[in-house]
Amino acid sequence: MRRLTQFFIHVFSLRTLVLLVAIWMLARGPLPDFVIQWREQSQIHLFRLGLHLSDLPLPQTHITVIHVPDIEYERWLVDLPGAGTLEQLFAKTDDDTLIGFILEQPLVLVQPHAESLLQEIQQGRRRRDQLYPEVQTLLARRESLVNFLTSAKLVLGLTDQSSHFYRRIPVQESFQEYPQLLRDWLWPWPKPSPAAVVSPVLQYFPIDSAPSQERRLASLEGDKVIPMFPLQFWAASQGYRLPDTGPQALHWQRDRGFSLGVEHIPTSVGAEIVPLYGAFSGIRASMRQITLGAALAGSELSGWILLGRDSSPTLEQSAQVIASLGDRAFLFEPVWWVLVQKALLAGAALCLVILLPILSLRRALVLAAIGLIGLGVGQLAGQTLFDLWLPVGEPLLFSAAGLVVMLLWRWQRRTWQRLQQRADSACHALADTAVAGDHLADAWRYLRSCQPTPGTLERLYRIAELYELRGDFTQALAVLRDLRRRRFRYRDVSLRIRRLRACIVYQRDHVLDGPPVAPAKDAPQGSTTVE
């Protein structure tokens, strides 16, 4: 039972916990949210420290960010008659303007079923239709707006709706949403259209709005690479075509990044970069932020323009990523860093589990300090010297937490050893008293729970000798077997065990008149002296 207890204490310990956590992290298992937050915070602090040590590029990209009030923004998304300010804004742009429109849902423009009725009115009921001029104006506005939304001078970004990237979007709004006046005038009611009514064929580019230091430039779906909104906006500003429309297409390789004609943007294996502008760095690009009313009341708009809901973090985030691409102010994680990070995790686990328990406390602390400082210096060196993103959050957090746990394990083990030594000292004193009183069974019972220290082994050896001198070969053999389990090659225990076995066999086969007498110490092996 004692050995089983020691086995469980040895297996289910803090050291085993550190090893299991290392294996889990190497296998890329999901981590708790608080661990991810600590990892991100440690990397952010090192990232900002590296910015103070780096030579940052001069801001050259200028972006005009137009903040649209919530009421106007909702009108633009769901209703064409409410898009009058959007049409005015498009009319104030010059030929060289590039507009990015950040959407929270696909554009509907006109209720599709109502639009089909308007077309029927336009084609077959012109003489009776008193609303024909309004219908004609409405359809003309829609056509003009769709032409602008599908032109090369505008890029549509869609937030967190990956299913809408390159597909025609079914719209569920029905005729019931149209004005009551037009529904009362129409008769008879037309039959439902057998085909699914869809919104205009608009191309949306995804926007990753998750708060993270690393920003994706593309969504990887199998073999298909779908550019994200900031990358597509920057590519459109350089005059490049869409990804599948010609020799200037957008190409991406896992070990090289993106190639846009003669331009090259290196990325990580997940098509990610770390922009130097944004909330995580505290450095903001050169931006002009105005309201929709100021944009409509001002002069003609030119340059790069971003439209979005007022006070939207996605709007600000997208502008910073686009500016980082324009100024080439970003870092990227190299392909080989994934393997290096795993090697660092494995090395930290081995040092914590193997080296830390056998080294002195001072040497262990010095080794741990060198390792933690080395991890931080590695990320800073990659950022400041080579423009590389070498995140050390995982190995740094694991090493720091593992160091605390292993120091606690050392303290726990040392405390347990001190308690065990005190208990062994008490048991040794009781055993010596029992041996002096010729109570060998009690002495052996006291020593069974003791650690196999030299004092314990010597006392067990002495008890076996006394049993043998008394002639109780069976108890002497039991004590020696217990002694051999504790220390296999202790003195001449194996030789004595063989001799006692022979004595017991001899007693069993030869019944003597008198009590057996212990063999002399100088008698040959297997011999027994009998009076």
By DSSP bridging, strand 287-291 and strand 63-68 are parallel
- Residue 416 is predicted with a pLDDT of 85
User: How does residue 337 score in pLDDT terms, banded at 50, 70 and 90?
Assistant: very high
By DSSP bridging, strand 224-227 and strand 218-221 are antiparallel
User: How does residue 200 score in pLDDT terms, banded at 50, 70 and 90?
Assistant: low
Residue for token digits 């929709």? Answer: 292
User: How does residue 382 score in pLDDT terms, banded at 50, 70 and 90?
Assistant: very high
pLDDT of 179 above 80: no
Q: Residues 204-213: what's their mean pLDDT? A: 84
pLDDT of 169 above 50: no
- Residue 414 is predicted with a pLDDT of 87
For 7, 317, 351, 413, 417, the CA distances from 10, given in Å and listed in that order, are 5, 51, 18, 10, 13
- Residue 202 is predicted with a pLDDT of 78
User: How does residue 252 score in pLDDT terms, banded at 50, 70 and 90?
Assistant: confident
Q: Who has greater pLDDT, 199 or 34?
A: 34
pLDDT 10s digits, 435-480: 888 888 888 888 888 888 889 889 988 998 898 888 888 888 888 8
Long-range pairs, 249-253, Cβ under 8 A, ≥24 = 250/225, 252/218, 252/225
pLDDT of 146 above 60: yes
Predicted structure pTM score = 0.71
pLDDT 10s digits, 492-512: 888 888 888 888 887 777 654
- Residue 60 is predicted with a pLDDT of 83
Tell me the residue length of the chain: 531
User: Is the CB of residue 321 less than 8 Å from the CB of residue 275?
Assistant: yes
pLDDT of 109 above 80: no
pLDDT of 515 above 60: no
Burial 151-178 (b: 16+ CB within 10 A, else e): eebbbbbbbeeeebbeeebebebebeeb
pLDDT 10s digits, 280-332: 888 888 889 999 999 999 888 888 999 999 988 899 999 999 999 988 899 99
Q: Who has greater pLDDT, 287 or 10?
A: 287
- Residue 405 is predicted with a pLDDT of 92
Q: Residues 61-68: what's their mean pLDDT? A: 92
Q: What are the beta bridge partners of residue 103?
A: 158
pLDDT of 204 above 90: no
Q: Residues 212-218: what's their mean pLDDT? A: 88
Q: Residues 327-349: what's their mean pLDDT? A: 93
Q: Residues 79-87: what's their mean pLDDT? A: 79
State the chain's mean pLDDT as an integer. 79
Strand stretches in 198-256, DSSP E: 204-207, 215-216, 218-221, 224-227, 250-253
pLDDT 10s digits, 121-144: 656 655 555 666 766 777 777 778
What distance in Å separates the CA atoms of residue 531 and residue 529, rounded to the nearest whole number?
7
pLDDT of 362 above 80: yes
Q: Residues 169-176: what's their mean pLDDT? A: 40
Lowest mean pLDDT among 155-169, 480-494, 512-526: 512-526
pLDDT 10s digits, 413-422: 888 888 888 9
User: How does residue 390 score in pLDDT terms, banded at 50, 70 and 90?
Assistant: very high
Q: Residues 186-200: what's their mean pLDDT? A: 44
pLDDT of 431 above 80: yes
Lowest mean pLDDT among 128-132, 252-256, 264-268, 401-405: 128-132
Specify whether the backbone of 477 is left (phi greater than 0), alpha (psi in -120 to 50) or beta: alpha
Q: What is the DSSP string of 423-478?
A: HHHHHHHHHHHHHHTT-HHHHHHHHTTS---HHHHHHHHHHHHHHHHHT-HHHHHH
User: How does residue 377 score in pLDDT terms, banded at 50, 70 and 90?
Assistant: very high
Q: Who has greater pLDDT, 398 or 270?
A: 398
- Residue 340 is predicted with a pLDDT of 94
